[in-house]
Structure 1
Amino acid sequence: MSRYDADTERTFAPLPPAHGRAFAHTWWGRAWLKALEDAALDSAQLKAGRRLARAGAVGAVSVRPGRITAVVRDRDRSARRADVLLSELDGEQWNRLLDLTVERAGHVAALLDRDMPPHLVEDAAAAGVELLPGMGDLEAQCDCGAWDHCGHTAALCYQVARLLDQDPLVLLLMRGRGERALMGDLQARSASPAAGASEDAAVDAAEASVDTGVDAAEAYAVGGILPSLPALPDLPAEPGTPPALDTDTPPAAGVDSDALRHLAARTAAEAHRLLAEALHAGADQAGFDEELTIAEDAVRLALGGSPEAVAERLAEGSGRDSEALARATRAWELGGAAALAVLEEEWTVSGETLTRARAALEGAWEDEERPRLRSVGNRWTVVGAPVQLRLGRDGRWWPYREERGCWVPAGGASRDPATALASLEAAAGDGDG
């Protein structure tokens, strides 16, 4: 794939087009692209760069300390030389980085396996050595005359992300140290010969320690000296907005873009809800809901509205027509799967459960205030009024109101039937006002 011009320069042959695939899969490749995308002032140029890189318009990439270079061809086949500059580490920074690397044999082994250990990057940053670029660190130069990242330098950066995925040592070369020099320095620091031992024997011992990996007891012991986890972040006020589907690549057959957009939005909302519950209850006490059925999940996904075509598919998936789905969605909004079960499930109340229900109803009001109730199963309807109480299997009472011949959920649940019924009256009063 590549050839060595010297230890301080590597030239990579052009990569094939990247149709339908991400430019970076590793965490360090994504960090490289984040530095580009966070600092770019013109998103249109980033899109142009992605198009060029996907089309295979980036030629051979030359990587040298502090600079990457390639010829990028526009759609009209005109060629532009694109350069991206990244500052090199100075001698003192390299010394700190090398010392940190040899502190753990696993770091050296990971680099030899073309992996970038997260702990190495974090420890280096704490010591004032930034391996990965940050916002504004990638300086663009192009003979097209652009003063910021243009489509040509953006395309080069997207292509380099693919190279970094395959070999993170490319990043270290950009920072000023080639692979042979780097490994030589690491071996020299790893050598600790006993009295009378030769330097060659020390180097052999260092190489053997790398080949045999990391001792399990040593790796386990490291856990005792790791810093504590940071404090939990504040809960965002609302769910984030999922990334826009702005790719120029048409969706594959059978992929519904509207449905995918809606699914991403609902996933963000559900993640926000679960995080709020976990932070409220404490991470150790937070529970997890049972797995939803397809019909239940379709109701959950219908929350917040959806495009007409998506709504039709959700109604079909839930086994309901559009009006029944609207009632189910209202129930879910009030109480999740438990409220949905109360909406759709009628069951016979008997035995101890019936005794408890009657005691709750009789104790909820004074005799002269108690409404007349007609019961069918777990449903108690107020005689002469379009209101109803439904008993859930968990002993909670849910208020319902009749609308256009259908019973619809009208509020949250309560352990006290009078409180549940009062919420209906309060809602009716607000509506009258």
Structure 2
Amino acid sequence: MTPARRTGSAGGARSRTFPPLPPRPGSRGPFAASWWGNAWVAALEGGQGAEGRLSRGRTYARGGAVGEITVSTGRVDARVQGSRRTPYRTSVALPQFGDADWDRLLEAVAAHSGHIAALLDRAMPPELAEDALAAGVPLFPRREQLEPSCSCPDWGHPCKHAAAVFYQVARLLDEDPFVLLLIRGRTEQEIVDDLQRRNAEYAAAEAAEAPPVPAAAPAGVPARTAFAAARSGLPPLPPPPPPVDRPGPVPVLSGSAEPGAGIDPAALEFLAADAAARAARLLADALAEGHPESPLPVELTVRQDTVRLAAAEPPPHVLARLAADATPAGPAALARAVSAWRYGGPAGLAVLDEAWTPAPAALARARDELSPARTGEALPELRNRRNHWTAPGLGVQLRLDPDGRWHPYRRERNIWWPAGPPDRDPAAALAAALNTPD
């Protein structure tokens, strides 16, 4: 399985994003390869009703219709290709364990060193699930606990697209049972740290109660002590490297490829230069004062990274390849995405790609920000649809992002184009949209 990209803080990834899994032809036999993966499937298939949708969901999953999957605490999100051209946005929410549940579960795991070793080896012994159930913390959800959501018109519970996502998660569990524990509310790092703490406490209690060892007997180390000290005994980190003021030189690769090898030297040179520039920025951030309190950069999606590379002005033939990968609409759509990226980064690209519906409280705040009392001037009439505010007849629009920033847009040849950087002041963003381009 392709390794997952992880996003979140340095203290443990709160979500993990997996690339699309390859199709798995055939319809007979268990869907998953592990017993715990099939136990996950059994949770979906238990109960009565929706068998037809489940069957179609299984077929979708086996056929590779499920795209990139993001697993986070309490939910799974993915896009599923159905009969329409645009994939459906699908999610499945599941209940998370409370603190008391986690305490009982981790106590049951820590009581058996074999459970810990199996988890670290990316396996789940049946005894672990049995001990969790005996502690009143069933690892696998019941079907009625699932809360599917999908942008498709099917009102089934679940629809075939949500069922496909649920089936595909079973294949992720085959490779890493920590995926199940992440859905239930805690990251791998949080779980390992808690188990280490519990083992250290057990080791200290055992050492206090142990009878004195005869002088002639060889001294031993309790297994829990060794496990708890596994990380604390590491040597100190080396001193940080010196700061750099610019990226290093990029090797010249043009003409070095063998004929017919399918390698584009100019594209490799461009990617190497981009990687060097990003490494220099990351190193500068790491050496800056206060860096330990700064979050790690969030890893970009394939779409975001493609647009970012296109914004870096690659060679024309590399740009053409990026345009083909970024969108079926071609170079014009990529140019619009690049403009959104240059003005607003990932948030700018997000408001270009998708509309969203603000919550009532956020919608009320937005309307208040657009009032003359707040802006200090009378704005033109703005008609609201979801997070878009459009001025009829003026060819301008404001788009609100989830962080409360307004992105200006201008209509050009019947297409909405980004017109400036976002601003928390809607009047300033509207002025940028109204400003006639040179």
TM-score by length of 1: 0.45
